[in-house]
Amino acid sequence: MLREGGMSCTGIKDLVIRSGAPIGSLYHYFPDGKTQLVVESLTIHGEKCRRLLEHFFDGRKTAAEALRSLFNSAAAGFEQAGAKQGLRNRLGSTDLMRSDKGIREVCQNTFDQWMAVIAPHLPFSDEGSRRSFATMIVAALEGAFVLGKATQSGESFRTVGEWLAAMVSANDPVRVSRKSRSFVNFFH
């Protein structure tokens, strides 16, 4: 329900009806109600995504290959789910209220963990540049979900993945492919 409609469209009564769980059990296990459910959901999902990123950025592929693989897989998964799926972390960060400090902290920590997985595999000479580009990758992934939902297509993932891979390849002195050069030459 959180993926489908976000926090504002997910009510406790709706959760109880959909899950079939008694409302007393929900409040027994989640005494802080919806906020606790969202925090725990984001934490679990964020950890799954971190492990998935570790799979793509495992050091066996170049950063460009890892990016293409990640974004192509995201496109396929998005299309397979019928464009109804979204990153729970995105929903947690788009319809937050000022009072949702705990949820915001989980989102920030999750995104920081993702960037920490990606950054060491990028071919930039300094840590600041690697971290900055990792931030762009996470932002691009999140943005591809937004565009995908709007267009009902995974094509935004593929496009973003190719451009990011091209930019990384252009900065990798060892591995510059012909395809990425054509993307890079576009800017010159």
Q: What is the pLDDT of residue 34?
A: 80
pLDDT tens, position by position, 110-146: 999 999 999 999 999 899 999 999 999 999 998 998 8
pLDDT digit string, tens, across residues 48-83: 999 999 999 999 999 999 999 999 999 999 888 875
The pTM assigned to this predicted structure is 0.78
In a domain, 32, yes or no: no
Domain containing residue 134: 43-185
> 3-class DSSP state for residue 37?
helix
- 24, part of any domain: no
CATH of the domain at 149: 1.10.357.10
pLDDT for the residue numbered 33: 80
Tell whether 159 is covered by a domain.
yes
pLDDT at site 188 = 44
pLDDT-derived band of residue 177, with 50, 70 and 90 as boundaries?
Answer: very low
94, part of any domain: yes
Domain assignment present for residue 5? The answer is no
The verdict on residue 16 lying in a domain is: no
On the question of pLDDT at 93 being above 90, the answer is no
In 125-142, which positions are buried (b, 16+ CB within 10 angstroms) versus exposed (e)? Answer: eeeeebbebbbebbebbb
Round the average pLDDT of the chain to a whole number and report it. Answer: 83
Cα–Cα distance for residue pair 94/85, rounded to 1 Å? 15
Cα dihedral 10, 15, 19, 21, rounded to 10, equals: 160
Number of domains in the chain: 1
Structural domain includes residue 68:
yes
pLDDT recorded at residue 110: 92
